[in-house]
Structure 1
Amino acid sequence: MTHHSYDTLSGALNGLKQRGYTEDFNLKENCIICTSKPLELKPEEFDIEEVHRFEGMSNPDDSSVVYAIASTYGVKGVLVDAYGAYAEAITPEMAQKLRV
């Protein structure tokens, strides 16, 4: 497996898109949803293939993480979230899946 490294959030999103992670996912309590397809993925229906973390330039609290996700249905995309923001808002199964 090739290791990819990105300096910026936008660089990661562009690089992942060029490598086939074309869908945008949003985090829900017990699943992730695809914004362009009627698709909800439970934790057992997707794998996190890469994780890229970024810290804000002026504020370390302004941090984000990009997950490169592949579903069991062949759909690949990205999920962008803030560090720790999901800890209280999602099920333990989703938290465990995202703790990579």
Structure 2
Amino acid sequence: MKNYNNKKQAIIGLQHRGYDLDFVFKDENLLCLQELELIGPDEFEIEETYKFEENHNIAQTFVVYAIKSVQRDLKGILLTSYSAFTKGLGFRLWCKLSQTL
């Protein structure tokens, strides 16, 4: 795992290493925006995690995940605020993501 000073460097570094798709939360799943494919918590691996706190404020803390599908050749990035963990994530997805923090 690399060391990055901020979320922008982490995203660019991951993109250079093939994590070129974008993931967002969709109910109990991740949605790959480019492929419009839902991936459940058991269908992806978190290969790397980076946490960045801006201005020493927990409300401005972000997490960058390097995501890889176990069934398809999909590799990408999930960028989320730390506060997203308290806003309606499904339990299985929350468990999967919080394991690496």
Scaled by the length of structure 2, the TM-score of the pair is 0.90
Aligned partner of residue 85 in structure 2, secondary structure: coil
Q: How does 1:20-35 map to 2 (within 5 A)?
A: 20-35=18-33
- Confirm or deny: 8 A CA contact 2:49 2:66 kept in the other structure: yes
Q: Is the 8 A contact 2:67 2:76 kept in 1?
A: yes
User: Alignment length, in residue pairs?
Assistant: 98
2:37 is the alignment partner of 1:39: yes
**Among residues 7, 24, 30, which one is paired with 1:9 in the alignment?**
7
Which of 3, 17, 20 aligns to 1:19? It is 17
Tell me which moved more, 79-88 or 26-35: 79-88
Q: Deviations over 1:11-63 (max 9, x none)?
A: 00000000010000001220000111121000011000000000112634211
What is the aligned partner in structure 2 of residue 83 from structure 1? 82
Query: By percentage of residues, which structure has more helix?
Result: 2
> Unaligned 5+ residue runs, structure 1?
none
In structure 1, the partner of 2:62 is 64
Residue aligned with 1:61, SS: helix
| Secondary structure, aligned partner of 1:40 | strand
Counterpart of 1:87, as a letter, is: T
Q: Segments of 4+ in structure 1 off by > 6 A? A: none
Cα distance in structure 2, aligned partners of 1:46 and 1:21: 13
